[in-house]
Every structure is written in structure tokens, then in C-alpha cells.
């Protein structure tokens, strides 16, 4: 394993982190689509499918809460590799004999996948702060690098949705998962060899009681993030794919292709968000607030269109295209702000705490998605989404309106 000091970290290490995160994200998107479509075909109800992801989100919350503290003690490189290997194991668990795939067994595998995903996300996002060169236009560079990592990750997750749906149809559930597990194993063995050994080690060993941030602006941002991602998953995880298959009549590949295209385009917008902030200007809390208020109009508009009998496929594709653009910009701004608000020695803990709120929002959205779709239809999911975005917008009123300030 490489042992260069963190002072020499730069674009090369940023590229290693990004490539490993891309590979992981492909499998994360694929496993979601495989589980939703496979178990829908087996006759599981929307609520039952949502509960398959229950441990995925719960353990994601817990992982983010303590992941930053762990990374500060053993290094971000170690937490990233551990996360990758756990995903290899989770994929392998699901590739076993179909008779093993009870609800409890699948929930356990998804719990491991949730831990793996959030260890990787925390490690990759915090790593960007550490490898960004200081001085000059450092804040603008930080915004660009964070946006590219996050946006490209989401583009690859969309590709993973398509890959999962396509391979499910071509190869079947077990063979697809076995192939993904083996490929990811090779990627993370190479990543383990290439990453610097000391990346992310904290100078002072924080206590476990310090995992919760004492910084007001980070706490407000985390709360806004909770509602922002709850607003997406309340229709995206269960309601939309089941609606497109059971009501609109789309096939596995059509559903997977549409969701993949949405996430890919969303990722491109997210990665390109810095182009909206030309020169050395970078976003503040006021931008997050304004975009969130605009975003809240879109799920409400889609719900009204469905209520008034407009063609559901056309209404959803049009509305979700606009939703994806504004959601991507808002998410990109959030991803920059959490890094900007954090100093180098606490960045892993702050990012972990922030993504713990993110995972809690996804869990809430996922559970509501299954319940709301079964009791209120997709229209109900969209109204829930509008309410969640409004909560994120109002919370963003309390973020600093000027240039982000780093905590001491």
C-alpha cells in the first residue's frame, strides 16, 4: 500500500477515489433495481418491497453517525476499502440459491450493502476536502471537485439501474449478482494498493460523544438534507417504478431505462453545477433556499396533472425532467457547503453526521413511499414530496447568506 503523506495528496488521489466510487456506485444502482423488480415479479406488495430496504437505510444512518469517528482513527482509505469489501459480500449473499432469499435474509444483505455504501460515500466525500490544494481559488476548486464526484456518481448510479434491469432480463438474478460481486472485488483490491495509508487520519483522537456536530450551520444543513432526500425517495424508490410497471404497463427494461436516464441526466447537471457559478464565485445558503422553493412546485404540479387526467407517462416524464435539474443543483450546493463548513481535522466526522441525516431522510422517504403508494397512489407520494421540499426550503432560511465559513 502506498504510504505518501497527506501533504502530497492531489489530483491523482482524487482520481483514484473517484474511480473506485464509480465502480461501487454501479453495483449500488444495480442492486436496487434488481431487488425492486425481482421481488415485484414474485408478488411482493409495495410496502413489503419498501421494507426490504429498511435495514439498508437504518444501518446507513448508524454507519454515517460513527463512520467519521472511525475514519479519524483508522484512516479514510481503510473505511473506503472496508465498505467496498462489504458490498462484495452483500452481493454474494444475494447470489445464493433462491430458496435462501427470505425477507429476513434479503434485509440482512441489504443492511450490509447500506453500511458499505455509506462508508464509501463518507470516505470519498471527505477525501475530496483533504486532497483539494489550498490557497488561491481553493473554494471554487473544492466546489468543482465535489460537484464532479457527486454528479458523476449519480450518473453511474443511473447506469447501474439500467445495468441491473438489463442483466436481470438477460442473465437472471443470481448470475448478475455473482458477476457484480467478482468485478467489484478486483476493483477494491487495486484501490487498497493505490490509496495513501495516512489519508484522513485525525491529528487529535475525537471521542465517540463528539460525533454530533456542535456547529449550527452544519446542523441546519443536515436537517435540510434530511427533507431534501426524503422528498426524492418518497416517490422514487417504490412508487414510481411500480407505477410505471403496473399502471403504465412498461417492461423491466423500460422502467430501468427511464430511471437510469433520469439519474444519469441528474448526475450530469449536478457535475456541471459549478458552470452556473463562474469565476471564483461559489454558492451560499441563499442559493440552497431559493432553489428549494422552486423545486417544491414540481411534485405538486405533477400531482395536479395526474388528478386532472393528463397522460401519466407524459406528465411524469416532463415533471421529473424539471425536478431532476433543480434537485441536482440543490444537492450539488449542499455537497459543497458541508465541505466548506468543515475544517480539515473534523471533515470526516462532519460529513458522516451530515450523511447520517441524508440516510435518515432516505429511510423516511422509502417507508412513506411504500405506504403512500399503496394507500394514496403515486399522487399521494408526490404531495408528500412537495411537503418535504418545502421543509428543506424553510430550514435553508437559517443557513448563512454570505460565503461559507469554516468552523474552528
Cα–Cα–Cα angle for 79, 114, 362, nearest 5°? 120
Sign of CA dihedral 222, 227, 230, 235: negative
How far is Cα 7 from Cα 314, in angstroms, rounded to an integer? 52
Could you tell me the maximum CA-CA distance found in the chain, to the nearest angstrom?
62
* Low-confidence stretches of the chain (pLDDT beneath 50): 1-8, 208, 404-408
Class of the CATH domain delimited by 6-396: mainly alpha
All structural domains of the chain with their residue ranges:
6-396
Choose among 89, 243, 236, 263: nearest CA to 163: 263
> 232 with 263: CB under 8 angstroms?
no
Sign of CA dihedral 22, 14, 281, 401: positive
Segment (H or E) for 381: helix 347-396
| pLDDT score of 383 | 95
Amino acid at each position: 500500500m502506498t504510504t505518501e503523506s497527506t501533504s502530497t495528496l492531489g489530483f491523482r488521489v482524487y482520481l483514484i477515489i473517484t474511480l473506485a466510487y464509480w465502480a461501487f456506485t454501479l453495483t449500488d444502482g444495480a442492486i436496487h433495481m434488481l431487488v425492486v423488480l425481482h421481488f415485484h415479479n414474485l408478488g411482493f406488495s409495495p410496502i413489503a418491497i419498501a421494507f426490504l430496504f429498511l435495514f439498508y437505510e437504518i444501518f446507513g444512518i448508524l454507519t454515517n453517525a460513527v463512520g467519521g469517528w472511525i475514519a479519524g482513527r483508522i484512516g479514510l482509505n481503510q473505511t473506503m476499502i472496508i465498505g467496498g469489501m462489504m458490498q462484495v459480500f452483500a452481493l454474494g449473499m444475494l447470489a445464493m440459491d433462491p430458496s435462501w432469499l427470505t425477507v429476513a435474509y434479503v434485509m440482512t444483505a441489504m443492511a450490509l450493502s447500506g453500511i458499505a455504501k455509506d462508508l464509501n460515500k463518507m470516505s470519498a466525500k471527505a477525501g475530496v476536502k483533504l486532497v483539494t490544494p489550498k490557497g488561491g481559488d481553493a473554494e471554487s476548486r473544492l466546489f468543482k471537485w465535489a460537484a464532479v464526484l457527486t454528479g458523476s456518481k449519480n450518473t453511474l448510479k443511473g447506469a447501474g439501474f439500467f445495468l441491473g434491469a438489463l442483466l436481470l432480463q438477460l442473465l437472471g438474478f443470481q448470475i448478475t449478482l455473482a458477476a457484480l460481486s467478482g468485478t467489484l472485488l478486483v476493483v477494491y483490491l487495486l484501490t487498497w494498493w493505490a490509496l495513501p495509508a495516512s489519508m484522513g487520519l485525525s491529528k487529535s483522537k475525537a471521542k465517540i460523544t463528539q460525533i454530533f456536530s456542535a456547529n449550527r450551520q452544519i446542523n441546519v444543513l443536515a436537517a435540510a438534507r434530511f427533507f431534501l432526500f426524503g422528498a426524492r425517495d418518497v416517490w422514487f424508490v417504490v412508487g414510481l417504478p411500480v407505477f410505471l410497471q403496473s399502471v403504465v404497463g412498461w417492461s423491466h427494461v423500460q422502467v430501468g431505462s427511464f430511471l437510469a436516464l433520469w439519474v444519469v441526466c441528474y448526475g450530469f447537471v449536478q457535475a456541471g453545477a459549478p458552470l452556473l457559478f463562474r469565476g471564483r464565485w461559489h454558492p451560499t445558503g441563499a442559493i440552497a433556499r431559493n432553489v428549494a422553493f422552486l423545486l417544491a412546485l414540481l411534485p405538486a404540479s405533477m400531482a395536479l396533472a395526474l388528478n386532472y387526467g393528463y397522460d401519466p407517462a407524459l406528465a411524469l416524464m416532463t415533471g421529473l425532467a424539471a425536478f431532476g435539474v433543480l434537485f441536482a443543483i440543490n444537492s450539488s450546493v449542499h455537497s459543497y457547503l458541508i465541505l466548506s463548513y468543515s475544517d480539515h481535522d473534523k471533515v470526516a466526522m462532519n460529513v458522516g453526521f451530515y450523511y447520517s441525516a441524508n440516510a435518515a431522510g432516505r429511510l423516511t422517504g422509502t417507508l412513506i413511499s411504500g405506504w403512500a403508494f399503496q394507500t394514496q397512489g403515486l399522487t399521494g407520494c408526490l404531495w408528500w414530496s412537495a411537503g418535504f421540499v418545502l421543509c428543506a426550503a424553510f430550514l435553508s432560511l437559517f443557513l448563512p447568506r454570505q460565503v461559507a465559513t469554516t468552523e474552528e
